[in-house]
Amino acid sequence: MRGVILHGPGDVRVEEREHPEIIDATDAVIRVVAACVCGSDLWPYRGADEADAQKMGHEYVGVVEEIGSEVRTVKPGDFVVGSFVISDNTCEICQAGYPSRCVNATFVDGSIGTQAEYARIPYADGTLVATPGTPSQEMIPSLLAASDVLGTGWFAADAAGAGPGRTIAVVGDGAVGLMGVLAAKQMGAERIIAMSRHESRQALAREFGATDIVVERGDEGVEKIRELTGGLGAHGVVEAVGTQESMMQAIRATRPGGSVGYVGVSHGVEFPGIELFFSLIHLHGGPAPVRRYLPELIRLIWDGTIEPGRVFDKVLPLDQAAEAYAAMDQREAVKVMLTP
Ligand SMILES: [Zn+2]
């Protein structure tokens, strides 16, 4: 079978790999129906993270081909959505709502790599969720979004305390930031401020529910958020970038007592302790516990309440994965779907 391997910065290749097989009784093997390139894949692609013949891809939807003898909740033929972290969904950490740090957690990226034709999913019951039936072609991008960007944006909006009467600001106009806007809207936020300087992304943010757009960045951006909120700052801020600038922008744009939901993979971020101390804010974030939200997200997609798949603005066959990475790297595409 074919799958994407990153050999080094900018070196994306589609190569022949071993066809996955059931190893443990709790495994499932799925045929990947759609996968995609994530903003976080750009860190190793750009050389910010090391990559040495790494299997790429952690977002996926597919059809179950085969299951181990102990798998109970999915069966061959089921259409499934999985989280980007393998989880048993039974340990204390999972039960508390944090399956992305399950005691048996494995990151799909690197170990499995779903930018491929097939994938072995350990702890299938704890990782995969079957859809109510076979989805239409139009619904597949939205279900794929649930696998990471939607689930991550959802967690970030939740962690930022989105809800009725709240003003939520979103730092980052990539797919996760845009999904954070959609999530905040679904959670009933009254005002949603998207921080973006790209016209096409601003338009998408508005479609997803943004009420205001702020084009300024850094301290100017913070100043603008304060102006829009009576000098107080937002009740909650979604941070979906992971840089020093974006993190400080999020912290400084949050009012005392408010919350930052941070999901941008942190790179070189350092906190000035004394500023954090006096900010009096909640910080909650990390790898999103997507599996916790999957059943609800699938339901909202299935009944047509949300259409997060609109975030995909390019579709390419798996063989053209290199082009997909380049398009995301150059910001020519918000998010690229790959079809094997
Ligand atoms: Zn667990």
Kindly report, residue by residue over 127-178, the tens digit of the pLDDT.
Answer: 999 999 999 999 999 999 999 999 999 999 999 999 999 999 999 999 999 9
- Residue 276: CB atoms within 10 A of its CB come to 12
Q: How many Å lie between the centroid of ligand 1 and the Cα of residue 144?
A: 23
Of 285, 308, 329, the domain-final residue? 285
Q: Quick one: which of 295, 259, 302, 261 has its CA closest to 279?
A: 259
User: What pLDDT shows up at residue 129?
Assistant: 98
Q: How many Å lie between the centroid of ligand 1 and the Cα of residue 91?
A: 4
User: Are 15 and 127 in a shared domain?
Assistant: yes
CATH classification of the domain holding 102? 3.90.180.10
Q: How many Å lie between the centroid of ligand 1 and the Cα of residue 113?
A: 21
Q: What is the DSSP code (8-state) at residue 162?
A: -
Q: Which residues span the domain enclosing 280?
A: 153-285
H or E element at residue 154: helix 149-159
Single-letter residue type at 141: P
Of 245, 265, 285, the domain-final residue? 285
User: What pLDDT shows up at residue 202?
Assistant: 97
Q: How many Å lie between the centroid of ligand 1 and the Cα of residue 70?
A: 16
- The owner of tokens 């937002």 is 234
User: Are 22 and 138 in a shared domain?
Assistant: yes
Q: How many Å lie between the centroid of ligand 1 and the Cα of residue 196?
A: 36
Q: How many Å lie between the centroid of ligand 1 and the Cα of residue 131?
A: 22
Q: How many Å lie between the centroid of ligand 1 and the Cα of residue 313?
A: 34
Mean per-residue pLDDT over the chain, rounded? 96
User: Are 80 and 189 in a shared domain?
Assistant: no
Neighbouring residues of the ion ligand 1, judged by CB less than 5 Å: 87-88, 91, 94, 102
How far does Cα 163 stand from its chain's mean position? Answer: 20
User: Are 190 and 302 in a shared domain?
Assistant: no
**Is the predicted pLDDT of residue 245 greater than 90, yes or no?**
yes
Single-letter residue type at 205: A
Specify the number of domains making up the chain. Answer: 2
Burial class (CB in 10 A: 0-12, 13-18, 19+), 103: exposed
**Is the predicted pLDDT of residue 335 greater than 90, yes or no?**
yes
Q: Given pLDDT bands bounded at 50, 70 and 90, which one contains residue 24?
A: very high
Is the model's pTM score more than 0.85? yes
